[in-house]
Chains A and B, each alone.
Chain A
């Protein structure tokens, strides 16, 4: 493996100086101490109270001593392994490892030009495609299906994903008792009575900007932490609406909210894995919308991730999404930008592929296109390999002026290592070949690729006894 003894500089994006980050962290600590966070959950408030947080129970506001917050940051693991069912797709969330998962919880699906409400079959198809895609490392509970009673949707989605894929899952609960039931699913699927031993899922927990935790989400956070389930804290200030209009102010508010979540998790169960995640956006001042494809949104993401890294925590962001309503040029360039910047920022979990319409709509075609973008971003992150052999000085001399390199063993050996070989979704044909093959657009090629995957890829089945038990559990949620 002598050719692997070379070096490659890791490309990196950095939007903040270390002194800026320290300033942000110190300011966040002051906000938590002086202003505090409102938490609409008595159990969480009393847990905080018992551990030295100053709680005004009447106003439901908790104010956090600075040293307690920094102790909680220190007790949070700097790396987390999320297990896959087959052991081949584990995620190791640490340092600058980059992983992609589809954007989650879309309330619509775009299919054949029609935006509609998704049903179970849509989620099954989606999960099977994501199971196949090489650069999509984890699943998400991507669609909020409408053929199941609303109060069971959170757990039912997880059931569908666990059945149809071996990849780890990014999920979350919409209900107060959701985590308990979902934990039960994970116990059965992983065969572990203690889900913290081999966690197969990450649960999102979202504070409400500015500086609030709802009853449900704080309960979910508490329940995950109590069971040692890794939680992804997803703070989402809207710059100019539910947060300051400035990017710096957004990063600061994000830090304060996220730190409050870390304290709740660590006080509930010291050592609970917490991922420094988020889904902030700027607020569009003409339309009142929340553009995920705006460059400023991506800048806030990359900057807050840098803060998380400074604190030594695994990171997450919603990037690779588009505000377009259809799989068009805007969908491509916004997603490519987000995926590339997120990778350059070294974010450990990047959620977004497949998503259109802010965070509302999923598309299988966009997912397979985004898979290519993720592959390219990962290739970028491998950098330029420098070694005596890769520089090829001798070979250049040997071939000499006017020669060619196509027939060289060096070419045969290196082209696969150096080049990412794209699927048919990416067009690199000559005009005449492209015409001969039907003059298809990226969308049309993606459509064909989706159907090809669905007709050829068979996800690894669960052991029959496990599947039976999951089916039995899901019976009470299933549409009749």
Chain B
């Protein structure tokens, strides 16, 4: 019964059937399926979607739309999460401050990453675009974020990724956060050069890399 529900949820997500996904989420709650099991099913659906995407069998709009309604399903579940569960090192407890750096108004990629991270269970704090390094660092301090994600589309603005990292060092909180960078001009080499912890090619990779890093940290 439960495993049937699991499979139907995964299928609904792969079919990009929002209505069915939300309906099954509510139904599972009503039937008393443990919340963490429902989260597993939703995550599994997105994970499979991501695998298909990486194989070239699913496309960005499908990924984004599925991520958005899985996020809605999480919202349905949130009030039912026990306090202990919420605090027990789950991804919801990992706060990610994300921003497109100063001078750059291109936030499509950043929005994608924010959506995918949120759907994957991270607690995403999106500062928007054209965000000065100082604002980013202040927000990290204020929220005690564990992750900073920095996006830049232009070669002229990517230097601000480095600036933000330098500021984290100056403010002596660099060792408290993990930094991931992305955007068209960024590369693994660039990430290494400016002292970031990771580079992600796309939103799916950002999710995967952050999960790897976080699980190593915990």
Q: Footprint of B on A, CB under 8 Å?
A: 404, 406-409, 411-412, 415-416, 421, 424, 430-433, 436
| Cβ-defined partner of B60 (8 Å) among A406, A409, A430, A432 | A406
Query: What A residues does B59 contact at CB under 8 A?
Result: 415-416, 421
Find chain A residues with CB under 8 A from B201 CB: 430, 432-433, 436
Q: Which of B107-115, B134-142, B144-152 contacts A (4 or more CB under 8 A)?
A: B107-115
Closest Cβ–Cβ distance, residue A171 to chain B (whole Å): 36
What is the CA–CA distance of A416 and B56 in the complex, to the nearest angstrom? 13
From B39-47, B62-70, B161-169, B171-179, give the one contacting chain A. B62-70
Interface residue from B56, B115, B184, B188 paired with A407 (Cβ < 8 Å)? B115
A430 touches B64 (CB 8 A): no
Interface string of B36-80 (1 = CB under 8 A from A): 000000000000000000001001111011001000000000000
Q: Is the CB of B62 within 8 A of A430?
A: no
In the complex formed, the residue of A with least CB distance to B69 is: A407
Task: Tell me if B117 counts as interface (CB < 8 A to partner A).
Answer: no
Q: Which residues of B contact A409 (CB under 8 A)?
A: 65
Are B184 and A430 neighbours in the complex by a CB distance under 8 Å? yes
Q: Is the CB of B61 within 8 A of A431?
A: no
Tell me if B16 and A406 are in contact (CB < 8 A). Answer: no
* B187 lies within 8 A of A431 (CB): yes
* 12 A-B residue pairs with CB within 8 Å: A404-B111, A406-B64, A406-B108, A406-B112, A407-B61, A407-B68, A412-B62, A412-B65, A415-B59, A424-B56, A430-B184, A432-B188
Output the least CB separation between B83 and chain A (Å): 32
Chain B: CB-nearest residue to A407: B64
Minimum CB–CB distance from B151 to chain A (whole Å) comes to 14
Within the complex, the shortest CB–CB distance from A341 to chain B, in Å, comes to 30
Q: Are A407 and B108 touching (Cβ within 8 A)?
A: no
Of chain A, the residue at the smallest CB distance from B56 is: A424
Chain B residues touching A, range: 10 to 19
- Of B16, B56, B112, the contact of A412 (CB 8 Å cutoff): B16
- Whether the pair A415, B187 counts as a contact (CB closer than 8 A) is no
Residues from chain A with Cβ under 8 Å of B112 in the complex: 406
Task: Identify the closest chain A residue to B201 (Cβ).
Answer: A433
Cα–Cα distance between A412 and B67 once the two chains are bound (Å): 13
- With known contacts A415-B59, A433-B201, A407–B65 Cβ distance under 8 A: yes
Question: How far in angstroms is the closest Cβ of chain A from B114?
Answer: 11
> Which 7 residue pairs across A and B have the least CB separation, nearest first?
A411-B61, A407-B64, A432-B187, A406-B64, A412-B61, A433-B201, A407-B68
In addition to A406-B108, A409-B65, A430-B201, 7 A-B residue pairs with Cβ atoms within 8 Å of each other are A406-B61, A406-B112, A407-B65, A407-B115, A415-B59, A424-B56, A432-B201
CB distance from B188 to the nearest CB of A (A): 7
Give chain A nearest CB distance to B61 CB in angstroms.
Answer: 5
**Least CB separation from A409: chain B residue:** B65
Complex Cα distance, B56 from A239, in Å, reads: 47
**Please, which residues of chain B bring their CB within 8 A of the CB of A404?**
108, 111
B176-190 vs A, CB cutoff 8 Å, 1 = contact: the mask equals: 000000001001100
Name, among B61, B62, B108, B115, the residue most crowded by chain A CB atoms within 10 Å (CB to CB).
Answer: B61
Q: Which residues of B contact A416 (CB under 8 A)?
A: 59
C-alpha gap A407/B71 in the complex (Å): 13
* Whole-angstrom distance between the Cβ of A389 and the nearest chain B Cβ: 16
Whole-angstrom distance from the CB of A364 to the nearest CB of chain B?
A: 22
Inter-chain CA distance A164–B156, complex, in Å, is 56
Interchain CA distance A404-B107 in the complex, whole Å: 9
Please, which residues of chain B bring their CB within 8 A of the CB of A431? Answer: 187
A259→B62 CA distance, assembly (Å): 54
Taking the nearest CB of chain B, how far is it from the CB of A201, in angstroms?
Answer: 36
A405 nearest in chain B by CB position: B61
Query: Complex formed: what's the CA distance from A415 to B64 in Å?
Result: 14
Chain A residue at smallest Cβ distance from B18: A409
Which residues of chain B in 178-206 are interfacial with respect to chain A, using CB atoms and an 8 Å cutoff? 184, 187-188, 199, 201
Complex alpha-carbon distance, A433 and B111, angstroms:
20
A107 to B: closest C-beta gap in Å = 37
Residues of A within 8 A of B115 (CB): 407
Interface residues of B in 80-127 (CB under 8 A from A): 108, 111-112, 115
Q: Which residues of B have CB within 8 Å of A424?
A: 56
Contacts of B16 in A (CB 8 A): 412
Residues on the A chain within 8 Å of B184, using CB: 430
Nearest opposing residue in chain B for A403, CB measure: B111
